[in-house]
Amino acid sequence: MTVGTAKAGNDERTGAGRAERAEKGTWRVKKGLAEMLKGGVIMDVTTPEQARIAEEAGAVAVMALERVPADIRAAGGVARMADPAVILEIMEAVTIPVMAKARIGHFVEAQILEALGVDYIDESEVLTPADEEHHIDKHRFKVPFVCGARNLGEALRRIAEGAAMVRTKGEPGTGNVVEAVRHMRAMMSEIRKLAGMAEDEVAAEAKRLGAPLELVREVKRLGRLPVVNFSAGGIATPADAALMMQLGADGIFVGSGIFKSKDPEARARAIVRATTHYNEPEVLAEVSKGLGEAMRGIEIATIRPEERMQDRGW
Amino acid sequence: MGTTGTVRIGVLDLQGAVSEHLEAVEAAGGAAVPVKRPEQLAGLDGLIIPGGESTTIGRLMEEYGFTEAVPEAAGEGLAVYGTCAGLIVMAREIEDGVPGQPCLGLMDIGVVRNGFGRQVDSFEADLVLKGLPGGPFRGVFIRAPYVKRLGAGVEALADFDGKVVMVRQGRCLATAFHPELTGDPRVHQYFLEMAARAGEGR
């Protein structure tokens, strides 16, 4: 039997006492896509060719960009949303979800990305912020958002604004995992602290975190964030990816780490395998072999304060 | 099936919504175990292939020997349930699949990936599931596939908008939607009963 593709409204069976009403853009489907990405690697790509390499290597999604963070850092100036033509080419090239970045607070870039049909918007500190006070009101969109955070309070502020996925910020484009570790440790330790706290201490903790009380209560009850939490910013090797997973990440973003390395295909495959088997050192040893040179890293102390991307957003 | 009477269900733990299925199996009264290696299939009554990215899950399954081990175990009586990406992986044909994307052919079905569109078209809707008591079931569809071709032994258990979204063939069950995200245990209970019966037959 072959089933046709009748559209809602002209399906004669809808009259048979059935409630066939589709609700799009609900909180559950926004959050749900991130849940489907768990245990996976999301890779920054700048061309359809790179997107295909990422998909072939087993990436769960790609981030469509004009330039990877390392090049944005090197170029300086104002970094904006990518050219829609680049994003569309990448959407054409692969069947996995395609994400794209909007500037912090730039809700019109987000409207454009939603109109293009991207699967997730990253309101990202990698781009130059458009608003130093307000993030995007993400509840207004059907497309889900992921946002960066350095600690629990920042994560919950983003979730309150409608982010359906969080990623720790790290320091993008450095190939140095130290900031990613700092942020993941901060978040996990604050969650553990909350879990052990008496109920009557939670309100004061919410105030200290600068986060809505209901969300703080929910974190206490769940013992984790109410949305998926990936790690980003500085992951360059399979061991880095497994480190972040062992520290509690639900999955990994790799920005410059893959296509700034000597052998992107091999490295992409290895990082995917390391993320799946993050708890098995023998597998990690095997996949780490002979990958060629990783991206050249940057020591965090050499970055001038105004060039630290993680301090963008609040 | 174990002597205690608890149905043992493995959840393929390569990528995707694994913890949600582990919790749903426990909530439905089964014993859930994550499965990362083919040898862990031994002694299970059922296996769940979760939602995730079908290309990623398919590639990792191939690499770690699941593409041979799962059909073999299914032939010996293992019940298998796939959600979303799991449905795609279980199919015989994949329309718009990525070249080289493995499909296990556990069910005689042809599927269409992203059959309802991209994420902005992901949706929730009430479904009528054939053979499940208790009224409508909230279907959560995320970049969901649908079943375009059903072979002779395949039964359609639900459709939405004229597209088949739940199928059963013998001891194999598949849904295009995500019961593990709803807190409603009925589909997992249905699968546990299938798996218990499959175990008795061995």
For the annotated catalytic residues of B, the residue numbers are 84, 178, 180
Q: Quote the mean pLDDT of chain A.
A: 92
Residues with Cβ within 8 Å of residue A206, at least 6 apart in sequence: A212, A213, A216
Note the pLDDT tens digit of each residue in B135-163: 999 999 999 999 999 999 999 999 999 99
Per DSSP, A2 falls in state B
Q: What is the pLDDT of residue B200?
A: 67
The answer to whether position B27 is within a domain reads yes
Report residue B175's pLDDT band, with 50, 70 and 90 as the boundaries. Answer: very high
Any domain includes B70 = yes
**Above 90 in pLDDT, residue B176?**
yes
Token pair recorded at residue A257: 């780490």
Percent of chain B surpassing pLDDT 70: 96
Name the one residue in this structure whose structure tokens are 């292939």. Answer: B49
Q: Above 70 in pLDDT, residue B125? A: yes
The reply to whether residue A60 touches residue B125, judged by beta carbons under 8 angstroms, is no
A233-262: average pLDDT: 96
Reported for A275-282, long-range contacts at CB under 8 A and 24+ positions apart, including other chains, are A275/A39, A275/A40, A275/A41, A275/A241, A275/A242, A275/A245, A275/A251, A276/A39, A276/B14, A276/B15, A276/B36, A276/B60, A277/A242, A277/B36, A278/A241, A278/A242, A278/A245, A278/A246, A279/A242, A279/A245, A279/A246
B71 within some domain: yes
How sure is the predictor about A17, in pLDDT bands with cuts at 50, 70 and 90? very low
The span from the CA of B176 to the CA of B139, in Å, is 9
- In this prediction, residue B202 carries a pLDDT of 52
**In this predicted structure, what is the pLDDT of residue B199?**
64
CA dist., res. B98 & res. A95, Å (int) = 7
Chain A 73-112, residues with CB within 8 Å of chain B CB atoms: 95-97
Taking the model in full, what pTM does it have? 0.93
CA B9 to chain centre: 12
Report the Cα–Cα distance between both ends of chain A, in Å, rounded: 56
| Residue A292 forms contact with B (CB below 8 Å) | no
Mean pLDDT over A175-188 rounds to 97
Higher pLDDT, B101 or A162: A162
Separation CA A271–CA A263 (nearest Å): 12
In the stretch 108-137 of chain A, residues with CB closer than 8 A to chain B read: 114, 117-120
**In this complex, which of A3, A95, A143 lies closest to B113 when CB atoms are compared?**
A95
- pLDDT at residue B116 greater than cutoff 80: yes
In a domain, B2, yes or no: no
Q: Name the 3-class secondary structure at A177.
A: coil
pLDDT at position A282 over 60 = yes
Over residues A145-166, mean pLDDT: 98
Amino acid code (one letter) for A150: R
CB atoms within 10 A of CB A308: 16
Reported confidence tier of residue B197, pLDDT bands at 50, 70, 90: confident
* pLDDT confidence tier of residue B7, bands split at 50, 70 and 90: very high
Interchain contact A37–B (C-beta under 8 A): yes
With 0-12 / 13-18 / 19 or more C-beta atoms within 10 angstroms meaning exposed / middle / buried, residue A199 is exposed
Q: What is the CATH number of the domain that holds B27?
A: 3.40.50.880
Does the residue B32 lie in any domain?
Answer: yes
Q: In this structure, are residues B192 and B29 in contact, taking their beta carbons and an 8 Å threshold?
A: yes
Task: Provide the 10 A C-beta neighbour count for residue B197.
Answer: 15
CA nearest B124 in A: which residue?
A23
Interface of A with B in 184-213 (CB under 8 A): none
What is residue A62's DSSP assignment? E
Answer whether residue A262 shows pLDDT above 50: yes
Q: What is the pLDDT of residue B201?
A: 53
Distance from CA of A154 to the nearest CA of B (A): 25
pLDDT score recorded for residue A15 = 38
> For residue B100, what pLDDT is reported?
74
pLDDT at A20: 63
What integer pLDDT is reported at residue B30 of this predicted model?
A: 97
A123 strand-pairing partners: A102, A147
Residue in B20, B120, B163 nearest the CB of A35: B20
Give the span between the Cα atoms of A126 and A100, in whole angstroms.
Answer: 12
Identity at A177, one-letter amino acid code: V
For A111-123, what is the mean pLDDT?
Answer: 98
pLDDT higher than 70, residue A63: yes
When pLDDT is averaged across residues A14-21 and rounded to a whole number, the result is 50
Residue B179 covered by a domain: yes
Decide if pLDDT at A295 tops 80: yes
Distance in Å, alpha carbon of A308 to nearest chain B alpha carbon: 32
B15 → closest Cβ in A21, A39, A114: A39
B40 C-beta neighbours (distance < 10 Å), count: 16
The residue among A211 and A313 whose pLDDT is bigger is A211
- Could you confirm whether A101 is annotated as catalytic? yes
Locate the chain B residue with the closest alpha carbon to A115: B120
Q: Which of B37, B56, B164 to mutate to test the interface with A (most CBs of A within 10 A)?
A: B56
Interface contact A16, partner B, CB < 8 A: no
Residue B32 backbone phi and psi in degrees, to 5: -105, 140
Pairing of strands B155-160, B137-141: unpaired
pLDDT digits (tens, 9 = 90+) for A74-113: 998 899 999 999 999 999 999 999 999 999 999 999 999 9
**Rounded to 5°, angle at Cα B24 from B22 and B25:** 65
The domain in which residue B173 lies consists of 8-200
Percent of chain A with pLDDT over 70: 94
| Nearest C-alpha in A relative to B129 | A18
Backbone φ and ψ of B43, nearest 5°: 85, 0
More confident of the two residues B97 and A90: A90
Summarize pLDDT for A22-48 with one digit per residue, the tens.
Answer: 999 999 999 999 999 999 999 999 999
Q: Assess contact for A108 and A61: CB atoms under 8 A.
A: no
- Buried b / exposed e over A122-151, threshold 16 CB at 10 Å, is bbbbbbebbeeeebbebeebebbbbbbbbb
CB contact under 8 A, A7 and B178: no
Tokens of A277: 């088997």
- Average pLDDT estimate for A234-253: 98
Within-domain flag for B3: no
Catalytic, out of A7, A38, A101, A207: A101
In the chain, the amino acid numbered A193 is K
> Could you report the per-residue pLDDT of B66-85, keeping only the tens digit for each?
999 999 999 999 999 999 99
Q: How many domains does chain B have?
A: 1
Predicted pLDDT at A7: 38
User: Over 50: is that where the pLDDT of A180 sits?
Assistant: yes
What is the mean predicted confidence (pLDDT) over B90-119? Answer: 91
Q: Does B98 have pLDDT greater than 90?
A: no
DSSP chain B: --TT-PPEEEEE-SSSSHHHHHHHHHHTT-EEEEE-SGGGGTT-SEEEE-SS-HHHHHHHHHHTTHHHHHHHHHHTT-EEEEETHHHHHH-SEEETPPTT------SSEEEETTTT-SGGG-EEEEEPPTT--SS-EEEEESS--EEEEE-TT-EEEEEETTEEEEEEETTEEEESS-GGGTS--HHHHHHHHHHHHHHHT-
* Average pLDDT of every residue of chain B: 93
Is B146 within a domain?
yes
User: Considering CB atoms only, which of A38, A40, A143 is closest to B119?
Assistant: A143
CA nearest A268: which of A12, A98, A55? A55
pLDDT value for A296: 87
Residue A269 pLDDT > 50, yes or no?
Answer: yes
The whole-number pLDDT of residue A168 equals 97
At B58, the amino acid letter reads G
